[in-house]
């Protein structure tokens, strides 16, 4: 199974910037998108169907905000919308799909960059997600949690760790959550295979030169539970795919 996770920062905008042309190259069997900012009925979803994808959507109640979607070449055995946490579900943050013995969780973690209120909610959301997946593992041991985590875990995951010590996304509490999460039986698939620095998935749009100079953050992840770790064949980041301020990330499972 080949999986791509990609925060598109507006699906319709990404489609206008060549997303469909990239999907025509057959990059994966399952495409998990975050921050779609759209509902199915205002997107030309038939373009995905024409490429052989089944489409599944979980959009925010607020128009033009948040939202996740999954496009899969294989029809899902089961789809779960949300996690049962109202604020998260109202914002369309988590969509889950079962294929065979694998549960794929496509998640758009909250950002805390807009102020203290959202940062506080981010911590609440992280605790809710930690408990949710811990309970889920009792019935679904083979989990894939992919998406925009909005956390750069270690200093190797950010271009300027000293200058961002007080920035949301690299705060000590967020990084500690990530450490706790991975220690509880999860594997950061990209980092497990790629120890090299300067590999990022997001670049600020405020200054166009930032991406050219590769001054980025690695805040997008595909993590798997430990039973799936032996099935990890490859993991990659695709910085040259540029329909968003993020780039796609990739996982192949045997």
pLDDT of residue 225: 98
The pLDDT mean for the chain works out to 97
Residue 206 — pLDDT band, cuts 50, 70, 90? confident
- CATH classification of the domain holding 56: 3.60.10.10
Of the candidates 118, 74, 76, 117, the residue with the CA atom closest to the CA atom of residue 93: 118
Q: How many domains does the chain have?
A: 1
Tell me: the pLDDT tens digits for 117-145?
Answer: 999 999 999 999 999 999 999 999 999 99
- Owning domain of residue 151: 2-253
Question: Would you please indicate which residues are annotated as catalytic (active-site) residues?
Answer: 148
**Mean pLDDT value of segment 170-174:** 98
**Is residue 58's pLDDT more than 90?**
yes
pLDDT of residue 104: 99
**Mean pLDDT value of segment 62-87:** 98
Per-residue 3-state assignment (H helix, E strand, C coil) for 119-169:
HHHHHHHHHHHHHHHHHHCCCCCCEEEEEECCCCCCHHHECCCCCCCCCCC
The Cα 111–Cα 169 span in angstroms is 7
pLDDT of residue 127: 98
**Is residue 208's pLDDT more than 90?**
no
Range 52-59 contact pairs with CB under 8 angstroms and sequence separation of 24 or more: 53/23, 56/95, 56/97, 57/95, 58/82, 58/92, 58/93, 58/94, 58/95, 59/92
Residue 190 — pLDDT band, cuts 50, 70, 90? very high
Residue 41 — pLDDT band, cuts 50, 70, 90? very high
**Is residue 157's pLDDT more than 90?**
yes
């Amino acid at each position: 199974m080949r999986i791509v996770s990609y925060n598109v920062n507006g699906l319709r905008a990404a489609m206008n910037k060549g997303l469909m042309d990239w999907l025509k190259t057959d990059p994966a069997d399952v495409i998990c998108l975050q921050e779609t900012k759209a509902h199915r009925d205002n997107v030309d979803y038939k373009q995905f169907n024409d490429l052989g994808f089944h489409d599944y959507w979980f959009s925010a109640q607020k128009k033009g905000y948040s939202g996740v979607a999954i496009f899969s070449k294989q029809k899902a055995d089961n789809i779960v919308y949300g996690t049962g946490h109202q604020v998260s579900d109202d914002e369309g943050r988590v969509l889950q799909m079962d294929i065979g013995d694998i549960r794929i969780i496509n998640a758009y973690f909250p950002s805390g960059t807009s102020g203290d209120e959202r940062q506080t909610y981010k911590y609440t959301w992280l605790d809710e997600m930690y408990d949710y997946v811990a309970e889920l593992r009792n019935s679904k041991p083979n989990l894939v949690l992919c998406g925009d985590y909005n956390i750069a875990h270690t200093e190797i995951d950010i271009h300027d760790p000293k200058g961002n010590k007080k920035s949301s996304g690299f705060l000590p509490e967020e990084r500690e959550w990530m450490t706790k999460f991975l220690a509880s039986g999860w594997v950061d698939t990209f980092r497990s295979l790629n120890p090299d620095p300067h590999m990022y998935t997001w670049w600020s749009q405020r200054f166009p030169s930032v991406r050219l100079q590769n001054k980025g953050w690695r805040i997008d992840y595909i993590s798997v539970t430990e039973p799936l770790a032996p099935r990890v064949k490859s993991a990659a980041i695709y910085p040259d795919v540029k329909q968003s301020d993020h780039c796609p990330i990739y996982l192949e499972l045997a």
